[in-house]
Amino acid sequence: MNRERALTWLHEWVRSESLRRHALAVEAAMRHYAARFGGDVETWGLAGLLHDLDYERFPEPPAHTREAARFLREQGVDEEIVGAILSHARWNWDQYPLDRPIRRALFAVDELCGFLMAVAYVRPERLEGLQPSSVRKKLKQRSFAAGVSREDIEQGAAHLGLPLDEHIAEVTAALQKVAAELGLGGTTTSPAP
């Protein structure tokens, strides 16, 4: 499987533009961490791109992740990718624990990417100049992006062995590289959400 095939599946399964952008954000963060931790950039990126493939059709646990895994296995997708997708959901940890770097990274970046995008949407500069201290302030506001698990964000950094501020900075840097694709290119290049 290659990225072109993965994008085709993403567009077939996911209609929501915001969920597609989330997938692109997680892909960027996974590629970034693959380079940092010595993983295969393509494999990690594909796991990020496809991690929520089934979310629109099967949003409830445990179908979410398991339906995508079933489909991807039928397509002959590498088990490393399928296992990572399954492991990003707590309900699969008994069979797919966070025992590999790719799995820890996917769990670590998923919620944080969603939160960073929410923060960027309310800033005129979007991702440009976004600092960990600003993100931490927003994390303390429980009403802001209330559906994002703060616990998962903190545990994700711990699973990677990184201080939270460093994790935030790393993922922000990854998203800044694809900001235009995410609709977060700043006031001069991106329309308001």
Q: Tell me what the pLDDT averaged over the chain comes to.
A: 95
Residue at 192 is within a domain: no
32, 116 in Cβ contact below 8 A? no
Residue at 108 is within a domain: yes
43, 102 in Cβ contact below 8 A? yes
Residue at 68 is within a domain: yes
Quote the CA–CA distance of 63 and 71 in Å, as a whole number.
12
Range of the domain at 88: 3-177
SS3 state of residue 40 = coil
Q: What global pTM score does this model have?
A: 0.95
CA angle 129/144/84 to nearest 5° reads: 80
Q: How far is CA 68 from CA 27, 47, 84, 139, in A?
A: 16, 11, 12, 30
Q: For residue 156, which of 80, 98, 91, 97 has the smallest C-alpha distance?
A: 98
Quote the CA–CA distance of 142 and 144 in Å, as a whole number.
5
Collect all residues with Cβ–Cβ distance below 8 Å to 89 and sequence separation of at least 6: 61, 62, 64, 65
Q: What is the mean pLDDT of residues 21-26?
A: 98
Per DSSP, 149 falls in state: -
Quote the CA–CA distance of 192 and 106 in Å, as a whole number.
28
| pLDDT for the residue numbered 185 | 84
Residue at 190 is within a domain: no
Quote the CA–CA distance of 150 and 156 in Å, as a whole number.
10
Residue at 182 is within a domain: no
192 pLDDT more than 50: no
Condensed to tens digits (0 to 9), the pLDDT of residues 27-47 reads 999 999 999 999 999 999 999
Residue at 65 is within a domain: yes
20, 178 in Cβ contact below 8 A? no
Residue at 184 is within a domain: no
Please count the other Cβ atoms lying within 10 Å of the Cβ belonging to residue 12: 9
152, 104 in Cβ contact below 8 A? no
pLDDT band (50, 70, 90) for residue 191:
very low
Q: What is the mean pLDDT of residues 129-157?
A: 97
CATH number at residue 151: 1.10.3210
Q: What percent of the chain has pLDDT over 90?
A: 95
Condensed to tens digits (0 to 9), the pLDDT of residues 68-117 reads 999 999 999 999 999 999 999 999 999 999 999 999 999 999 999 999 99
Please count the other Cβ atoms lying within 10 Å of the Cβ belonging to residue 34: 21
Residue at 189 is within a domain: no
**Total domains in the fold of the chain:** 1
